[in-house]
Structure 1
Amino acid sequence: MQASALIDTAKIIGERLLRLDITGIKRLSRVNSLFAPQKIVWNFSHLDQLFHALPFDMPSAVPSPLPEAKGPITTSVDLDRYFIDRNVKSFLVLKDGAIRHEQYFHGTRPEDRNISWSMSKSVTALLLGILIDKGLIPADILEAEVQDHLPALKGSGYDGVRLLDVLTMSSGVRFDEDYVDYHSDINRMGRIIGVGGSMDDFAATLTRQWPPGTYMHYVTVDTHVIGMMIRALTGQKMIDLLNAHVIRPMGFEHSGFVITDEEQEPFVAGGFNMSTRDYARLAQMMLQKGAWNGTRIVSEAWIDRMTQQTAPLPDPETAKIPDGQLRYGLQWWLPPEARAGEFFGIGIYGQYMYIHRSAGVVIAQNAADTDFRVGDGAINLETLAMFRKIAEDLAGA
């Protein structure tokens, strides 16, 4: 750890000692070792033991079906090499809604609750669409400026930003998403979640870099602002909305939970934890344009809107490799030269929900890939190309 990081840590410990907050000190120690190579696999399946968390509703007594197809997967991809190189924890492939490949590594199990990281963003956008479909949020809300519903954001970088701008990561807010730099905005935010503080208050401290809608610039707090808007517009808690409109209707197989800040506010930008099978269920519902197990979860129109390029392009002077070649919808991504109905949700360290609708294929993956940023994230492009190859091999089999 850098000297400045050690000083910062010592300061936090001192403040906690003055408050006799021994639990907070222990949590800080765990947060600082969250990505340690010898602990990362276990940590990524047990984050409710490291952070504040709220459970999702218990799974259905009879979970929604996820049948198994006969015969092994047929693909030219060297999966065994890939699993080693990317430190994969779990890997599941659906073809036409049936399991064609399911494998677990490093002692993990089907019932393990795996951190989604930024795949949570995609689920948060899904929830927003469901609430609009049901008339619980006005249909024209995407054009509303967030400070009109969130007075605490007046005068901040979010003043004058539309809900559509935060959905497309084009708020123009200044934010450093460097996961390696201890002092980056994303890591300052992480310490609020891990040690103590309010994400709502943190959002109000951010400032403006560009006019809203100018560039797609990835800002994790943009998704938190979506959650703030949902709470303000419905007057309900996020955990209750998620349970009522996503968790229970999907009929998940395993229990899950969401990380929260100190005020028990869910970390909707990266804190959902579910089994790989249940991530696959979500992805299959997306493939089926919002229908699942005989139930309409969300409208086809919202699925289409989320998964079409909507965001402006990134700033060409600052965009790194994957951001410069990928395209962005409403909290969902499109790969380079996307096929019809091909899109994905992604989280750091190798979390994926990949959908290839024309091939009828879904891939859900959880990993602990500490090399995920090698080549400015070019590994993500290699992974997406491999997923596409698997999908097209299965479609042609």
Structure 2
Amino acid sequence: MKTIASILLLALPLALAHQAQAVEFKPLDNAFVQQSAAFGVTQDNWDHGAHAGVTFPNAYRFTPHMEISLPVDVNPREWPERPQALLQLTAADLDGEHSLEVLLRDRLKNHSMVVLNKGSLVHQHFWNGYGAGQTHLQMSVTKSFTSLLTSIAVAQGKLDMDRAIIQYLPELKGTGFEDATVQEVADMRSGIGVTFSEGKLWDDRMTEAQDWNGDSKYPDMRGVMDYANTLDNHRPIGKVYDYLDVNTELLGKVVEKVQGQPLAELLESQIWGKIGAQQPAKWMSNRNGEVVASGGLNMTTRDLAKVGEVIANKGVSQQGERVIPAEFIEALFQGDDKVRFAWQQGKESALATGWYKDQFRVLDIKGHKFIAMVGIHGQILVIEPKSQTVIAMNSGFGEMEPPRMAILIFQQIIPAILDKLAQDKA
């Protein structure tokens, strides 16, 4: 007769086979940093636009990072294929019409694009030495992932977005965040004031706290909370959409506080292990393992598309498992008067009718209303619920966010693809 102990020992390997691997801290890849320095690329300048074409697929190697593993028994379903000649479509640049291949490859320095429609793979390409199984820095697309983890905490009853942020992070008392709600922080309506460093869209003091360009040079900036405690208001709270990374960093801190776990572990257990991801993700961090909640995720373009597929399917995965709360996606897509008004006060209102809510943009362009996750230098995930279309792309454009790049992507290329797929009745 088998003893209870022997039965448990036999069952243990089976149980472990269905668990995710532990998130693992990976230190700086010194050998790669030295190899890069021989080509003039250093920790100080790896994120410069001139280097983005080669550094973004290798970004996590320039900083410490947390590796987010797959379930041991992962066996993701492959998409059925229904190829469409999307690169032969045309759209306009300032000098007239060109094929999407020319606009993407030659003018936007695109590395990859994966397009899904009604659950089928209709297009994928990988250029510039970038492969289907290779991760790519997503920059501010990361913000939307931090928000997805926030939505799960809300659905679990652990977080109230209408409460003041200091009720979760009392360390912020006396700062510009003191009177802002969690929702206002999530919507970039906190009213906080930040002075950008010259030639950048962020304050170097924050990226120093994140070891983004090597170990921090500021001894009093050992984490983003140290940085946040230096900030004050410069706009009315709740009234203006003002896009600042520190809002996302604090949103991530709130989630960690109510969940009692680091963001990387939450991403692995709540999202990555459920969407059918095919490769581990890398989340860049400082030396203490504090991830960059506003811009440090590295993942493959195909896995990015899988996240879009879940959103397009109202939060349910390929395997039929609820991943993202349906109520969150619906509220995001519908918006509200507060975010509509705030959008109109911001600079992005010139690009499109829309709003920014919960770290996502919702845009209405040329008859297409879609959700957009956006990162500088050309990182994009677009979801159009009506047509069940997902467009994931990664790029290495040489400037951060010039108007021409935004116009080409959002007013030309994306509408051309959505128009084409709207004609396909399959």
User: So what's the TM-score if we normalise by structure 1?
Assistant: 0.85
Identity %: 20
**Alpha-carbon distance between aligned partners in 2 of 1:212 and 1:167, rounded to the nearest angstrom:** 12
Letter in 2 for 1:332: F
- C-alpha displacement of 1:372: 4.6
Instruction: Map residues 330-369 of structure 1 onto 2, 5 A cutoff.
Output: 330-337=358-365, 342-369=370-397
Quote the offset at 1:312 in angstroms.
4.8
The counterpart of 1:73, out of the listed 85, 89, 105, is: 85
- Equivalent-residue separation in structure 2 for 1:155 and 1:36 (angstroms): 35
User: In structure 2, how many angstroms separate the alpha carbons of the residues matched to 1:207 and 1:37?
Assistant: 30
1:64 to 57, 62, 76: 76
Q: 1:251 corresponds to which residue?
A: 276
Offset of residue 112 of structure 1 = 1.0
Q: Which residue of 2 aligns with 1:173?
A: 192
Indicate conservation of the 8 Å contact 2:154/2:161, yes or no: no
The 1:324–1:174 alpha-carbon spacing in structure 2 relative to 1, beyond 3 Å, is: farther
| Residue 213, structure 1, aligned to residue 238, structure 2 | yes
Q: Which moved more, 1:41-50 or 1:378-387?
A: 378-387
Specify the code of the residue in structure 2 equivalent to 1:392: D
Indicate the SS of the match to 2:273. Answer: helix
CA distance in 1, matches of 2:388, 2:352: 27
State the distance in 2 between where 1:301 and 1:320 align: 26
**Alignment partners' CA distance in 1, 2:345 and 2:360:** 23
SS for the counterpart of 2:232 is coil
For the pair 1:93 / 2:115, whether they are aligned, the reply is: yes
Distance 1:50 1:372 in 2: 19
2:328 aligned to 291, 302, 324, which one?
A: 302
Moved over 4 A (4+): 25-29, 314-318, 320-326, 337-341
Can you list the C-alpha shifts for 1:297-319, whole angstroms capped at 9, x where unaligned? 12211111223334254587772
Task: Tell me whether 1:391 sits opposite 2:415 in the alignment.
Answer: no
CA contact (8 A) 2:314 2:326 kept: yes
Alignment of 1:33 with 2:45, yes or no, is yes
- 2:233 alignment partner, SS class: coil
Deviations 1:215-253, CA, capped at 9 Å, x for gaps: 111111101111111111122221211111011111210
Distance (whole Å) between structure 1 residues aligned to residue 76 and residue 238 of structure 2:
40
Specify which of 169, 176, 179 is matched with residue 160 of structure 1: 179
What's the counterpart of residue 236 of structure 1? 261
The structure-2 alpha-carbon separation of the partners of 1:65 and 1:315, relative to structure 1 and needing over 3 Å to count, comes to: closer
Distance change >3 Å, CA 144–CA 38, structure 1 → 2? closer
Q: 2:64 matched to 1:52? A: yes
**How far apart in 2 are the matches of 1:228 and 1:371?**
30
Query: Does the 8 Å CA contact 1:86/1:371 hold for their aligned counterparts?
Result: no
User: Is 1:319 the counterpart of 2:347 in the alignment?
Assistant: yes
Report deviation, 1:188: 3.2
Question: Residue 277 of structure 1 corresponds to which residue in structure 2?
Answer: 302
CA distance in 1 between counterparts of 2:72 and 2:330 reads 28
CA distance in 2, matches of 1:329, 1:267: 20
For the residues of structure 2 that align with 1:258 and 1:189, how far apart are their CA atoms? 17
**How far is 1:48 from its partner?**
2.1
Provide closer, same or farther for how the CA distance between residues 187 and 253 of structure 1 changes in structure 2, counting only shifts above 3 A: same
Answer whether contact 1:260 1:267 (CA < 8 A) is retained. yes
Residues 1:82 and 2:103 are matched in the alignment:
yes
1:201 equivalent to 2:201? Answer no
Cα pair 1:59 1:255 within 8 Å, conserved: no
Residue type of the alignment partner of 1:64: P
| CA shift in 2, pair 1:292/1:324, >3 Å | closer
Note the alpha carbon deviations across 1:194-217, whole angstroms, 9 max, x for none.
Answer: 233311211221111123101111
Report whether the alignment pairs 1:381 with 2:404. no
Q: Distance in 2 between matches of 1:314 and 1:300?
A: 24
Contact 1:143 1:163 in 2 (8 A): yes
Q: Alpha-carbon deviations, 1:67-97, whole Å to 9, x = none?
A: 1423333563312111210000111111112
Q: Name 1:108's counterpart in structure 2.
A: 130
Q: Which amino acid aligns with 1:300?
A: A
Q: 1:378: how far off?
A: 4.2
Match of 1:192 in 2: 209
Gaps of 5+ in 1: 1-22
Q: Aligned residue pairs: how many?
A: 367
Structure 2, unaligned runs of 5 or more: 1-29, 91-98, 217-221
Let me know the Cα RMSD of the aligned residues.
2.6
Larger Rg: 2
User: Post-superposition shift, 1:176?
Assistant: 4.0
Q: Given that residues 120 and 271 in structure 1 are in contact (C-alpha distance below 8 angstroms), is that contact kept between their aligned partners in structure 2?
A: yes
